[in-house]
Structure 1
Amino acid sequence: MKYLLLLFILGMTSCSSQSKDCLKFKTGTFKYSDDDDWIITRTDSTQIEVNKKNERTLKSSIKWLSDCEFVITVVEDNKGSSNILDKKITVKILNTTSKSYHYEATDGIKKTKNILIKIQGK
């Protein structure tokens, strides 16, 4: 029993001590792990998402709240969808690898989780 408790404590300590390197994902070109249609190009203050399949382009401003959290505000949709304009989406980077990050995004109503893979940029 003592060993199980010790393993549990060691496991919890090692999980919480994992570091996140969020800054390397502040800029670059990305794709979703589960959808190759969308390509995302991000600077420190803007993000452009392009769907290669239907040629939809979303342009957003970015406000960084911390190294691992930012708010995206959609400012332009070339397909003219007014219900997405000015929508604010808060994104939290949950953990990182050398080339990807897991995130949680919410617009205040709906919450999603996914993985972005960095395909270009430092």
Structure 2
Amino acid sequence: MRLFYLFLLLLLTSCYQVERNCLDYKTGTYKSTIVIDDVSYVSTFTRTEELQIETFESKTDSASVRWINDCEVVFKTINPKNMAERKDIHLKILTTTDSTYTFEYSYVGETLKQKGVATKIE
């Protein structure tokens, strides 16, 4: 009988798929929230097919956009001012809803990843 319940549980959970309608989030205006060490960081950005313009703590920065596939993108800062800004950022959309997406990002080639949520404003 336990085997039956285990099989039933496995069958039901294997049918569940995380929703990822990444194409809905390729362009638009967003508010992004990231929590690092219990501190919440909020930025706003507008993304087109080729460019992302982001404002964080009253500073605006621009990056070129290169989509790897429907759910993964690489950002390259257009006018880097220091070594950290010269590193490309890889972002992967993990899940989507009708107005938000959860993502993880890291510098290209590094293993430390951070997670955040972006909410579509327009």
Give the TM-score band, short-chain normalised: 0.7 to 0.9
C-alpha distance in 2 between matches for 1:27 and 1:84: 25
For 1:40, the equivalent position in structure 2 comes to: 45
Aligned CA RMSD, in angstroms, stands at: 1.8
Q: TM-score, normalised by structure 1?
A: 0.81
Map 1:1-122 to 2 at 5 A.
Answer: 1=2, 2-15=4-17, 18-34=18-34, 37-51=42-56, 54-76=57-79, 81-107=81-107, 108-109=109-110, 110-120=112-122
For 2:37, the equivalent position in structure 1 comes to: none
Deviation string 1:48-100 (CA, Å, 9 cap, x unpaired) is 1112xx421111001011111110111135xxx41233321111111100001
Contact 2:52 2:65 (C-alpha < 8 Å) held by counterparts? yes
Structure 2 gap ranges (5+)? 35-39
Q: TM-score, normalised by structure 2?
A: 0.81
Structure 1 gap ranges (5+)? none
Question: Kindly tell me: are residues 114 and 37 of structure 1, through their superposed partners in 2, closer, same or farther at Cα, counting changes over 3 Å?
Answer: closer
Contact 2:33 2:42 (C-alpha < 8 Å) held by counterparts? no
Contact 2:33 2:43 (C-alpha < 8 Å) held by counterparts? no
SS of residue in 2 equivalent to 1:10:
helix
Identity of aligned residues (%): 35
Residue 67 of structure 2 aligns to which amino acid in structure 1? W
| Aligned positions, number | 113
Residue 9 of structure 2 aligns to which amino acid in structure 1? L
